[in-house]
Amino acid sequence: MTRSVAGKVVLVTGASSGIGWELAKQLAAEGCKVGVVARRAEPLNELVAHITGVGGDALAVPADVGSRDRVEEALAKVRERFGPIDLVIANAGIGRPTLRDPVNMSDVEDTLRINLMGVVYTVSAALPEMLARKDGHLVAISSLAAYRGLPAESAYCASKAAVNVYMDGLRMHLRNTGVRVTTICPGFIKTPMTATNKFYMPQLMEADYAARKMIRAIKRGKKVYNFPWQLHMLIKLSRWVPDGVMNWAMGDYEAEAQQAVADRQK
């Protein structure tokens, strides 16, 4: 069954660029009141100006989803402005390579904190009110990378795999409560995060196209939505591919990872 989102109060994290920006913009165009959350205030304000400029309603709330207190404060501000939150999309995430020797531990910790705990903090802050109302929808934007560990991407893949398992358990735990749970695992999408990737990204999608697919899955109440399906099947099959073949396919990614970390630290 497809549900309309018109008139719903929606919160989108990681909305300062890429997928989050497109999700917020498209949901606002469908009549949602949108609270947008990210660390950077300036692009959030630009997004709100765009939405309100075409007749929509949005509120910018700068916050770091890696801080439980900041997340709870952000949701409180959205409720104060728009009322009870109907749909939460925990989209915020970072992508940093995992180096081999020495391991860039601070990047690993940040990746797990933002990608995993950011989701946990966001959905947990919205859940009590949804349970009380017996209605609501919790969505986490994960990744097809959750299904396969990749060289120099250990932390990123692990963080997304953890999100999938967390949301699976939450969905079963919330059965018959009126609160729906959706996990969305996209492939490669053109965003500032993927712009630094040097390797080939098969079936690379534009962010606006990916957001439309995600919103359609949310309306249909999908439990888990993996797309594009061809890449999903390829990743599933790759679990039986020998490690040596995967290393060959990825190329000298350790050198690329070291360069990416060095560039970011300049």
Per-residue tokens: 222: 């999908």
CA torsion angle for 195, 200, 203, 208 (degrees, to 10)? 0
Helices 154-173 and 105-112, axial angle in degrees (round to 10): 20
Q: Following DSSP, what letter does each residue of 85-108 receive, concatenated?
A: --EEEE---------SSS--HHHH
d(CA 114, CA 101): 23
Helices 68-82 and 118-133, axial angle in degrees (round to 10): 40
Q: How many CB atoms lie within 10 A of CB 176?
A: 6
Position of tokens 């609501």?
136
Catalytic residue among 121, 156, 166, 253: 156
Compute the 3-state secondary structure of the chain and give helix, strand, coil in percent, each to the nearest 5.
55, 15, 30
User: Residue 156 catalytic?
Assistant: yes
Position of tokens 């009549």?
31
Nearest to 171 by CA among 145, 144, 207, 142: 142
Give 136's strand partners.
179
Active site residues: 156
